[in-house]
Chain A
Amino acid sequence: MNKYEFLYKLDKALSGFSDQEKKEIVHYYEELIMDARDSGDTEEAFINRLGSVETIVRTIRKDGSFVTNVKDKKDFQLRKVFDITARVIGYAIYGFFVITVGSIAFGFCVSGISLVFAAAVGFIRDSVADPTIATQVMYAGGMVLGGSLFLGGVWCFKWIFKTAKAFIEKSLEFADKLIKKIGENK
């Protein structure tokens, strides 16, 4: 990794820091690299010695005053507001989703059961009155179709609960991206 690659990566990894802080930290490392080179180190070797960008950022972030600095920034307030908004919107979309898919699933279940029931009744009745293979196959088909409709409905319900968490998380992720965009435009 050369100096530019390193500094670019560092800048990208410094999310959550103000633009001023980012600039200072990047300058600090740029100066270190150049001083290391002027003292006879090779650029590459020195950058390797610095360790991963992630570890560097973590070490800087760990410092107490930095955490408060970042938290005190308006971005933190904005983040909180966005977090709540994203949650509310997430739940609203999720609620709408549950009602829509839920009622479809409910319809599947109910019509499935009634179809099974109707086919069973018909099967029993016609097995005495009109015991041809054709009607028996038709009723058996009706029962299978009803059963699958019911199972389909149940599966829909299961799916709703499974997607619930993913839905909320996605909306939070989206809010995070939005905050970053706003931060960059400032």
Chain B
Amino acid sequence: MDAQLKKGFLELLVLASLKSAASYGYKIIQDVSGIIDISESTLYPILKRLEQQEFVVTYTEEFNSRLRRYYRITPAGNAKLRECRTDFEETKKIYDYILSEGGRS
């Protein structure tokens, strides 16, 4: 997949994986890697960016007598995901055109 396209999708996919419940690094990779190729070192900047944009908030919780960092989606993050609905309609039109005979439809 095109690198620019993938970058945008990765952010949304990570955000979407938090929709139902807060999650942590290792689990996010497990959840998302079935859909898109993601490595541990790509996830870190994505989480950082989502946090900076205030689409997620972080908190630490004890697990197995160690601290684990959790990421929870914010209302702004949920709103961002809802935007995907309109994005999808537009993107679909674009792809339909790209993949069609080329403007003759």
Contact = CB atoms under 8 A, between A and B. Distances in A.
Interface of A: 25, 27-29, 31-32, 34-36, 38-39, 50-51, 55-56, 59-60, 62-63, 65-66
A28 B47 CA distance: 11
B49 interface: yes
Contacts of A28: 25, 44, 69
Report the 9 A-B pairs with minimum CB-CB distance, sorted nearest first: A35-B26, A63-B45, A59-B41, A56-B41, A32-B26, A32-B25, A28-B44, A32-B40, A50-B40
A31 B26 contact: yes
B52 A65 contact: yes
A34 B69 CA distance: 12
B27 interface: yes
Interface residues of B, number: 18
A29 to B, nearest CB: 7
21 contacts: A25-B44, A31-B24, A31-B25, A31-B66, A31-B69, A35-B24, A35-B25, A35-B26, A35-B68, A36-B26, A39-B26, A56-B40, A59-B39, A59-B42, A60-B44, A60-B45, A62-B45, A65-B45, A65-B49, A65-B52, A66-B48
